[in-house]
Amino acid sequence: KPCSLPQTMLAIPLLLLLVPGLILYPQQAGDGLDEAALERMQQRAEYLNQQMTRLIQELEQMKQEQSGGAWGGLLGWQFWALAGIAVLHLEKANRKDDNHNAKRKLGSRLEERMHLPVLDLDKGCQLITDLMDKLTHIFGQGLSNGFYPVPQQAVGVGSAFEGWSPGSAQDVVYRVLVPLSPPPGHAFHLELDAAGMLQRNFCVRVELLCTCTRERLGEDMLCFLHHPEEELRRRQDPSLLHTLCTGSYLDVEKTVHWFYGFVRVAWLLLPQSRHWRLTLQPCSRSCKFQLRKDKESFTAEMIFAVRQGDSDIFVCSQPAEAGIPSTRWPETYAVAEANFFRHISRQAPQDSCHCKCLQLLTGFLMGVGFSSYALKTVVMHLLNTVPLTQWRRRDFGQRLMDILKYLRCSLDTKQLLHFVVGNASFPMEISLPSGFRVAEAPNLFEHLASSPNAHRKAVQEYNCLLDRLKQLPIHGH
């Protein structure tokens, strides 16, 4: 079967998710309702109340039976979040009838129970940001005379710095992108290596520059181009070409290995080392580490990158696929996307629900095979089209349904366009390379268009949640 989740586990939240389509609501009416119509509406309200009460009781019983199990999270906040959607639809469909207060009371019962896990992302973001600032400062003080890539101020990227996270607090990874600038006497040139299906790949070619003018001005640096190699070996550290490059190209794995060594030494000089324990987690294309203090724990990942011009688009060390050459740096849009979320946060209402929508869906739908990036792309498209005044907390249910509808439409058309590349309506205040906004947008679902089997599986993964409803004893109500 395409979906192996326990039937009973999904039945209750899915029933509530689709309540608007399973129950024949009374039509909105004016003031001229006859007694028979009022009686039918009252009976319907009582029936709905009874069904919700029964479902609540079943949930509490199931939670007791499954306590401590892997489904605890699904039967908790996700149930009440999906149940809240049903209540919002009930209220909308019946806002003009005399049973409106009854529906509101029913909704209140569910809203009291509907809550997402509270993640203190701000604390982790601030801790990692402060640590990166101090590491950058130490690098400038201690290695300024060497010829290694120069780390610039780190930029928080990914879900945690965007205000949401698909997992629990223990699963959060705080990702920072560390821009690298060339050392003195060197220049970086980005060369397109191979065009991927969804992103381009580049090589970072390292070029030696003439520094004779700086030498004549009294700077303590020999020109790599115009001094004998013997003199250079005797009086000056080797160039970047002889340390972290393979041929003429900056090597990702050598760069990461070098920075691991720097962090290991620099950590002892940081004030955080007196209170936190640092554990490095070796990785060939990024620098991962964990900070622990008492019962607190934060996991971070440093991704190294080279900026394209003065834009918010970079090439980075973190690959989109395994097994790529160590001199290949994939293009990344993480900084532009993070800046888009910051742009939205500055303009959206204080109680905006877009992060809660992402947190819920990535936690719930990830179990059926959709990537969190696809879901984030859907949300970004909707944030760019639906007025931000319609993303308040009270709009949570409707926006959640919009996201699901958009995702289903994208599956049907086998097309989910990239949000940054080829998006003419992308905010102008976020800097993109020339031509980015008018380029052809990559299709994130291109693999579905080219593979009938992949498309069929994706549709099954989406529909398996709905198909469970057919087995429920709800017919005839």
Q: In this structure, are 285 and 390 located in the same domain?
A: no
Parallel, antiparallel, or unpaired: how do β-strands 277-281 and 245-246 relate?
unpaired
What is the pLDDT at residue 54?
Answer: 60
Domain span at residue 307 reads: 119-332
Q: Residue 103 — φ and ψ, nearest 5°?
A: -65, -40
Looking at the DSSP assignment, which residues form a beta bridge with residue 178?
Answer: 304
28 or 36: which leads in pLDDT: 36
Average pLDDT of the residues in 224-231: 91
Q: In this structure, are 270 and 299 located in the same domain?
A: yes
In this structure, of 142-156, 181-195, 269-283, 463-477, the range with the lowest mean pLDDT score is: 463-477
319 or 12: which leads in pLDDT: 319
Q: In this structure, are 193 and 326 located in the same domain?
A: yes
What is the pLDDT at residue 206?
Answer: 98
Q: In this structure, are 326 and 384 located in the same domain?
A: no
Q: In this structure, are 165 and 248 located in the same domain?
A: yes
Kindly report, residue by residue over 165-207, the tens digit of the pLDDT. 877 777 899 999 999 999 999 999 999 986 555 678 999 999 9
**Segment (H or E) for 249:** strand 249-250
What is the pLDDT at residue 117?
Answer: 60
Q: Look at residues 332, 360, 387 and tell me which one is the last residue of a structural domain.
A: 332
Structure-block tokens of residue 256: 């990461």
Q: Look at residues 332, 363, 396 and tell me which one is the last residue of a structural domain.
A: 332
Is 327 within a domain?
Answer: yes
What is the pLDDT at residue 460?
Answer: 83
Is 171 within a domain?
Answer: yes
Is 73 within a domain?
Answer: no
What is the pLDDT at residue 365?
Answer: 60
Residue position matching structure tokens 């130490």: 138
Q: In this structure, are 155 and 250 located in the same domain?
A: yes
Q: In this structure, are 328 and 367 located in the same domain?
A: no
Q: In this structure, are 375 and 465 located in the same domain?
A: yes
Structure-block tokens of residue 336: 């532009």
Q: What's the residue count for the chain?
A: 477
468 or 362: which leads in pLDDT: 362
Band (307; pLDDT cuts 50, 70, 90): very high
Average pLDDT of the residues in 107-134: 72
| CATH code (residue 137) | 3.30.460.90
Name, of 143-157, 195-209, 243-257, the range with top average pLDDT. Answer: 243-257
What is the pLDDT at residue 274?
Answer: 92
Q: In this structure, are 304 and 401 located in the same domain?
A: no
Q: Which residues 6+ apart lie within 8 Å of 156 measured at CB?
A: 125, 128, 129, 174, 175, 176, 338
Kindly report, residue by residue over 383-422, the tens digit of the pLDDT. 999 999 999 988 988 888 898 889 889 999 999 999 999 9
Q: In this structure, are 355 and 311 located in the same domain?
A: no
Is 50 within a domain?
Answer: no
DSSP secondary structure string for all residues of 183-226: PTTEEEEEEEEEE-SSSEEEEEEEEE---HHHHHTT-S---TTT
Alpha helices in 325-369 (DSSP H): 334-347, 354-364
What is the pLDDT at residue 293?
Answer: 93
> Could you tell me if residue 245 is left (phi over 0), alpha (psi between -120 and 50 degrees) or otherwise beta?
beta
With contact defined as beta carbons under 8 Å apart, do 147 and 207 qualify? no
Q: Dihedral (C-alpha) 166, 169, 170, 172: value to the nearest 10 degrees?
A: 50
Q: In this structure, are 418 and 293 located in the same domain?
A: no
Average pLDDT of the residues in 28-56: 56
What is the pLDDT at residue 305?
Answer: 98
Is 282 within a domain?
Answer: yes
Would you say residue 235 has pLDDT above 50? yes
Band (101; pLDDT cuts 50, 70, 90): very low
Kindly report, residue by residue over 6-26, the tens digit of the pLDDT. 443 444 444 444 444 433 333
Q: In this structure, are 295 and 379 located in the same domain?
A: no
What is the pLDDT at residue 461?
Answer: 77
Is 108 within a domain?
Answer: no
What is the pLDDT at residue 356?
Answer: 87
Could you give the percent of the chain with pLDDT greater than 70?
A: 67
Q: Taking the alpha carbons of 96, 99, 105, 111 in that order, is the dihedral positive or negative?
A: negative
- Computed over every residue of the chain, the mean pLDDT equals 78
Is 109 within a domain?
Answer: no
Q: Look at residues 269, 300, 332 and tell me which one is the last residue of a structural domain.
A: 332
Q: Which amino acid is at 401?
A: M
Q: Residue 31 — φ and ψ, nearest 5°?
A: -85, -10
* Domains held by the chain: number: 2
| CATH code (residue 469) | 1.10.1410
Q: Which amino acid is at 287?
A: C
Is 355 within a domain?
Answer: yes
